Structure 1
Amino acid sequence: MAYATRTDIEALYGAQALYVADRDGDGQGEDAAVSRALDDASGEIDAWLRVRYDIPVAPVPQLLVQIACDIALYRLAQTADVRTDEHRTRYDDALATLKRLSRGEMMLPPPPPDPNAPLTLDGPRPIVVTGPERLFSRDKTRDL
Protein backbone atom coordinates (compact mmCIF):
# COMPACT_ATOMS: atom_id res chain seq x y z
CA MET A 1 0.00 0.00 0.00
CA ALA A 2 1.49 3.32 -1.06
CA TYR A 3 1.26 6.15 1.46
CA ALA A 4 1.08 8.80 -1.26
CA THR A 5 -0.06 9.23 -4.85
CA ARG A 6 1.03 11.22 -7.87
CA THR A 7 -1.74 13.68 -7.00
CA ASP A 8 -0.18 14.18 -3.55
CA ILE A 9 3.18 15.05 -5.12
CA GLU A 10 1.51 17.52 -7.47
CA ALA A 11 -0.46 19.06 -4.59
CA LEU A 12 2.66 19.47 -2.42
CA TYR A 13 5.22 20.55 -5.00
CA GLY A 14 3.36 21.20 -8.26
CA ALA A 15 3.33 19.19 -11.48
CA GLN A 16 6.75 20.54 -12.47
CA ALA A 17 8.32 18.55 -9.63
CA LEU A 18 7.68 15.38 -11.61
CA TYR A 19 10.24 16.32 -14.27
CA VAL A 20 12.46 13.80 -12.47
CA ALA A 21 10.14 11.03 -13.70
CA ASP A 22 10.33 12.07 -17.38
CA ARG A 23 11.98 9.06 -18.99
CA ASP A 24 11.12 9.70 -22.66
CA GLY A 25 11.76 13.45 -22.82
CA ASP A 26 8.19 14.53 -23.51
CA GLY A 27 8.03 16.80 -20.46
CA GLN A 28 5.59 14.54 -18.58
CA GLY A 29 6.50 12.29 -15.68
CA GLU A 30 5.93 8.61 -16.41
CA ASP A 31 3.12 7.11 -14.33
CA ALA A 32 4.90 3.76 -13.96
CA ALA A 33 8.08 5.39 -12.66
CA VAL A 34 6.17 7.56 -10.18
CA SER A 35 4.10 4.62 -8.97
CA ARG A 36 7.20 2.46 -8.50
CA ALA A 37 9.03 5.21 -6.60
CA LEU A 38 6.03 5.76 -4.30
CA ASP A 39 5.79 2.01 -3.62
CA ASP A 40 9.52 1.89 -2.82
CA ALA A 41 9.16 4.92 -0.53
CA SER A 42 6.27 3.26 1.29
CA GLY A 43 8.38 0.14 1.77
CA GLU A 44 11.16 2.21 3.27
CA ILE A 45 8.69 3.94 5.60
CA ASP A 46 7.30 0.57 6.69
CA ALA A 47 10.81 -0.70 7.43
CA TRP A 48 11.41 2.21 9.82
CA LEU A 49 7.96 2.19 11.44
CA ARG A 50 7.71 -1.58 11.89
CA VAL A 51 9.55 -1.20 15.20
CA ARG A 52 6.72 0.76 16.88
CA TYR A 53 3.61 0.66 14.70
CA ASP A 54 1.33 -1.84 13.02
CA ILE A 55 1.96 -1.49 9.32
CA PRO A 56 0.65 -0.42 6.93
CA VAL A 57 -0.46 2.63 8.89
CA ALA A 58 -4.11 3.42 8.22
CA PRO A 59 -5.51 6.01 7.98
CA VAL A 60 -2.41 7.65 6.55
CA PRO A 61 -1.36 10.80 8.47
CA GLN A 62 -0.30 13.81 6.42
CA LEU A 63 3.22 13.48 7.83
CA LEU A 64 3.66 10.11 6.11
CA VAL A 65 2.28 11.49 2.85
CA GLN A 66 4.93 14.23 2.95
CA ILE A 67 7.70 11.77 3.77
CA ALA A 68 6.63 9.36 1.02
CA CYS A 69 6.62 12.17 -1.55
CA ASP A 70 10.08 13.37 -0.50
CA ILE A 71 11.60 9.89 -0.63
CA ALA A 72 9.96 9.11 -3.98
CA LEU A 73 11.17 12.35 -5.57
CA TYR A 74 14.68 11.71 -4.28
CA ARG A 75 14.71 8.21 -5.76
CA LEU A 76 13.31 9.46 -9.08
CA ALA A 77 15.90 12.23 -9.24
CA GLN A 78 18.68 9.81 -8.43
CA THR A 79 17.55 7.41 -11.16
CA ALA A 80 17.29 10.20 -13.75
CA ASP A 81 20.66 11.62 -12.63
CA VAL A 82 19.13 15.05 -11.96
CA ARG A 83 19.35 15.02 -8.18
CA THR A 84 19.72 18.43 -6.57
CA ASP A 85 20.74 19.53 -3.09
CA GLU A 86 17.07 20.21 -2.37
CA HIS A 87 16.18 16.58 -3.13
CA ARG A 88 18.99 15.39 -0.87
CA THR A 89 18.01 17.74 1.96
CA ARG A 90 14.36 16.65 1.84
CA TYR A 91 15.40 13.00 1.80
CA ASP A 92 17.73 13.49 4.78
CA ASP A 93 14.98 15.32 6.67
CA ALA A 94 12.52 12.51 5.90
CA LEU A 95 14.96 9.90 7.20
CA ALA A 96 15.62 11.93 10.34
CA THR A 97 11.88 12.08 11.00
CA LEU A 98 11.51 8.34 10.43
CA LYS A 99 14.37 7.68 12.86
CA ARG A 100 12.70 9.83 15.52
CA LEU A 101 9.41 8.00 14.96
CA SER A 102 11.08 4.60 15.25
CA ARG A 103 12.87 5.61 18.48
CA GLY A 104 9.69 6.98 20.04
CA GLU A 105 10.97 10.56 20.11
CA MET A 106 8.00 11.50 17.92
CA MET A 107 4.57 9.94 17.64
CA LEU A 108 2.20 9.67 14.72
CA PRO A 109 -1.11 11.40 15.37
CA PRO A 110 -3.89 9.09 16.55
CA PRO A 111 -6.56 8.17 14.01
CA PRO A 112 -9.64 10.36 14.07
CA PRO A 113 -12.54 8.98 16.12
CA ASP A 114 -15.19 7.05 14.24
CA PRO A 115 -18.37 9.17 14.25
CA ASN A 116 -20.49 6.01 13.89
CA ALA A 117 -18.95 4.26 16.89
CA PRO A 118 -21.19 3.97 19.95
CA LEU A 119 -20.41 6.32 22.80
CA THR A 120 -18.89 4.48 25.74
CA LEU A 121 -18.64 5.89 29.23
CA ASP A 122 -15.80 3.68 30.40
CA GLY A 123 -13.41 6.61 30.73
CA PRO A 124 -12.35 8.43 33.85
CA ARG A 125 -15.07 9.51 36.22
CA PRO A 126 -15.11 12.65 38.35
CA ILE A 127 -13.85 12.39 41.91
CA VAL A 128 -16.42 13.46 44.47
CA VAL A 129 -15.15 14.14 47.98
CA THR A 130 -17.17 15.04 51.03
CA GLY A 131 -15.61 16.13 54.25
CA PRO A 132 -16.62 16.76 57.85
CA GLU A 133 -18.66 19.76 58.83
CA ARG A 134 -16.68 23.02 58.86
CA LEU A 135 -15.17 24.00 62.20
CA PHE A 136 -15.24 27.71 61.48
CA SER A 137 -18.11 29.41 59.74
CA ARG A 138 -19.78 32.81 59.97
CA ASP A 139 -22.44 31.50 62.27
CA LYS A 140 -19.98 29.79 64.66
CA THR A 141 -17.60 32.74 64.86
CA ARG A 142 -20.19 35.51 65.01
CA ASP A 143 -19.76 36.31 68.71
CA LEU A 144 -15.96 36.15 68.81
Structure 2
Amino acid sequence: MTAAVYATAQDLLERDPSFVWTVAAQKDNPDTLDEVAMAAALRDATEEINSFLSRFTLPLAATPNTLNRLAISLAFYWLADRDSSVTDLVQKRYDDAISTLKDIQAGRRDLGLPKADKPAETQSGKAEVIAASRPAMRKDLGGVL
Protein backbone atom coordinates (compact mmCIF):
# COMPACT_ATOMS: atom_id res chain seq x y z
CA MET A 1 0.00 0.00 0.00
CA THR A 2 1.39 3.38 -0.97
CA ALA A 3 0.65 6.16 1.44
CA ALA A 4 0.80 9.85 0.75
CA VAL A 5 3.41 11.71 2.75
CA TYR A 6 2.20 13.77 5.70
CA ALA A 7 4.49 16.71 4.89
CA THR A 8 6.17 18.12 1.79
CA ALA A 9 9.53 19.70 1.07
CA GLN A 10 7.70 23.03 0.98
CA ASP A 11 6.39 22.37 4.52
CA LEU A 12 9.97 21.84 5.68
CA LEU A 13 11.11 25.08 4.05
CA GLU A 14 8.20 27.03 5.52
CA ARG A 15 8.88 25.70 9.02
CA ASP A 16 12.63 26.39 9.16
CA PRO A 17 14.37 27.35 5.91
CA SER A 18 17.80 27.93 7.47
CA PHE A 19 17.80 24.49 9.05
CA VAL A 20 16.75 22.86 5.76
CA TRP A 21 19.58 24.62 3.93
CA THR A 22 22.01 23.52 6.66
CA VAL A 23 21.12 19.82 6.52
CA ALA A 24 19.87 19.37 2.96
CA ALA A 25 22.18 21.46 0.78
CA GLN A 26 24.00 19.40 -1.81
CA LYS A 27 27.65 18.81 -0.90
CA ASP A 28 28.96 19.59 -4.37
CA ASN A 29 26.55 22.48 -4.98
CA PRO A 30 25.56 24.22 -1.72
CA ASP A 31 23.22 26.57 -3.60
CA THR A 32 20.94 23.61 -4.42
CA LEU A 33 18.88 21.48 -2.06
CA ASP A 34 19.26 17.71 -2.21
CA GLU A 35 15.71 16.87 -3.25
CA VAL A 36 16.41 13.12 -3.12
CA ALA A 37 17.52 13.37 0.52
CA MET A 38 14.51 15.51 1.38
CA ALA A 39 12.12 13.05 -0.27
CA ALA A 40 13.79 10.15 1.56
CA ALA A 41 13.48 11.94 4.92
CA LEU A 42 9.80 12.69 4.26
CA ARG A 43 9.20 9.07 3.22
CA ASP A 44 10.98 7.82 6.37
CA ALA A 45 8.84 10.15 8.48
CA THR A 46 5.66 8.86 6.82
CA GLU A 47 6.64 5.22 7.33
CA GLU A 48 7.46 5.91 10.97
CA ILE A 49 4.11 7.64 11.51
CA ASN A 50 2.22 4.84 9.75
CA SER A 51 3.83 2.28 12.04
CA PHE A 52 1.88 3.88 14.91
CA LEU A 53 -1.43 4.23 13.05
CA SER A 54 -2.52 0.61 12.71
CA ARG A 55 -5.93 1.37 14.22
CA PHE A 56 -6.74 3.70 11.32
CA THR A 57 -7.53 2.89 7.71
CA LEU A 58 -4.46 3.82 5.67
CA PRO A 59 -3.78 5.74 3.56
CA LEU A 60 -5.58 8.59 5.26
CA ALA A 61 -7.94 10.64 3.11
CA ALA A 62 -6.62 13.87 4.63
CA THR A 63 -3.63 14.80 6.78
CA PRO A 64 -4.51 16.18 10.21
CA ASN A 65 -2.37 19.16 11.21
CA THR A 66 -0.94 17.13 14.08
CA LEU A 67 0.48 14.54 11.69
CA ASN A 68 1.88 17.26 9.43
CA ARG A 69 3.70 18.80 12.40
CA LEU A 70 5.00 15.41 13.55
CA ALA A 71 6.15 14.54 10.02
CA ILE A 72 8.14 17.77 9.82
CA SER A 73 9.90 17.05 13.13
CA LEU A 74 10.66 13.47 12.08
CA ALA A 75 11.89 14.53 8.63
CA PHE A 76 14.18 17.16 10.18
CA TYR A 77 15.63 14.42 12.37
CA TRP A 78 16.24 12.09 9.42
CA LEU A 79 17.79 14.89 7.36
CA ALA A 80 20.14 15.83 10.20
CA ASP A 81 20.97 12.19 10.85
CA ARG A 82 22.45 11.82 7.35
CA ASP A 83 25.55 13.74 8.46
CA SER A 84 25.36 13.02 12.18
CA SER A 85 24.32 16.63 12.80
CA VAL A 86 21.40 15.95 15.12
CA THR A 87 21.29 18.75 17.68
CA ASP A 88 19.73 18.47 21.13
CA LEU A 89 16.72 20.45 19.88
CA VAL A 90 16.22 18.19 16.84
CA GLN A 91 16.56 15.12 19.07
CA LYS A 92 14.04 16.54 21.58
CA ARG A 93 11.52 17.30 18.81
CA TYR A 94 11.99 13.78 17.42
CA ASP A 95 11.49 12.23 20.88
CA ASP A 96 8.41 14.41 21.48
CA ALA A 97 6.98 13.35 18.09
CA ILE A 98 7.48 9.67 18.93
CA SER A 99 5.86 10.23 22.34
CA THR A 100 2.85 11.86 20.66
CA LEU A 101 2.61 8.98 18.18
CA LYS A 102 2.64 6.50 21.08
CA ASP A 103 -0.21 8.46 22.68
CA ILE A 104 -2.15 8.36 19.40
CA GLN A 105 -1.51 4.63 19.09
CA ALA A 106 -2.70 4.00 22.66
CA GLY A 107 -5.83 6.09 22.12
CA ARG A 108 -4.76 8.83 24.57
CA ARG A 109 -4.74 11.39 21.73
CA ASP A 110 -7.49 11.67 19.15
CA LEU A 111 -6.89 12.75 15.57
CA GLY A 112 -10.59 12.85 14.76
CA LEU A 113 -10.17 10.11 12.16
CA PRO A 114 -12.34 7.04 11.58
CA LYS A 115 -10.87 3.86 13.05
CA ALA A 116 -10.08 0.78 10.95
CA ASP A 117 -12.91 -1.74 10.76
CA LYS A 118 -12.63 -4.44 13.40
CA PRO A 119 -14.25 -7.86 13.18
CA ALA A 120 -17.64 -7.95 14.88
CA GLU A 121 -17.90 -9.71 18.21
CA THR A 122 -19.80 -12.98 18.33
CA GLN A 123 -22.27 -13.97 21.01
CA SER A 124 -19.65 -16.25 22.54
CA GLY A 125 -17.05 -13.50 22.98
CA LYS A 126 -14.34 -11.61 21.16
CA ALA A 127 -12.61 -14.60 19.64
CA GLU A 128 -14.12 -17.56 17.96
CA VAL A 129 -12.25 -20.85 17.91
CA ILE A 130 -12.91 -23.16 15.02
CA ALA A 131 -12.23 -26.81 15.72
CA ALA A 132 -10.43 -28.88 13.12
CA SER A 133 -11.82 -32.25 12.16
CA ARG A 134 -8.46 -33.86 12.95
CA PRO A 135 -5.17 -32.58 14.32
CA ALA A 136 -2.75 -31.21 11.72
CA MET A 137 0.03 -33.61 10.92
CA ARG A 138 3.59 -32.63 10.18
CA LYS A 139 3.23 -33.88 6.58
CA ASP A 140 0.14 -31.66 6.17
CA LEU A 141 2.19 -28.59 7.03
CA GLY A 142 4.80 -29.26 4.37
CA GLY A 143 7.63 -29.79 6.87
CA VAL A 144 7.15 -26.41 8.53
CA LEU A 145 7.60 -27.86 12.02
Report the TM-score when normalising by structure 2.
0.70
Look up the SS of the partner of 1:80 in the other structure.
Answer: coil
- Residue 21 of structure 1: which of 13, 19, 24 is its match? 24
Structure 1 pair 32–57 and aligned structure 2 pair: CA distance change class (3 A): same
Could you say which structure has the larger radius of gyration? 1
- Contact residue 49 and residue 71 of structure 2 kept, 8 A: yes
Tell me, what secondary structure is at the counterpart of 1:88?
A: helix
SS in 2 for 1:24: coil
Question: Quick one: which of 91, 95, 99 aligns to 2:94?
Answer: 91
Q: Match for 1:38: what amino acid?
A: L
Give the aligned partner of residue 82 of structure 1: 85
Match of 1:32 among 30, 36, 41: 36
Match of 2:53 among 33, 49, 54: 49
Write the distance in 2 (CA, Å) between the matches of 1:28 and 1:16: 13
Measure the CA separation in 2 of the matches of 1:87 and 1:58: 29
Q: Quote the sequence identity (%).
A: 34
Q: Secondary structure at the match of 1:60?
A: coil
Q: Distance in 1 between matches of 2:7 and 2:25?
A: 19
SS in 2 for 1:48: coil
* 8 Å CA contact retained: 1:41, 1:72: yes
CA positional deviation for 1:23: 3.6
- The match for 2:14 is 11
What is the CA distance between 1:76 and its match in structure 2? 1.0
Where does structure 1 differ by over 4 angstroms across 4 or more consecutive aligned residues?
A: none
What is the deviation of 1:110? 4.5
Aligned-residue RMSD, C-alpha: 1.5
Q: Match of 2:7, as an amino acid?
A: A
In structure 1, give the amino acid aligned to 2:100: T
Q: Report the secondary structure of 2:52's partner residue.
A: helix
SS of corresponding position for 1:49 = coil
Normalized against structure 1, the TM-score is what? 0.70
Distance 1:87 1:27, change over 3 A: farther
Which whole-Å CA distance do the structure 1 matches of 2:39 and 2:82 have between them?
14
When the two structures are aligned, how many residues end up with a matched partner? Answer: 109
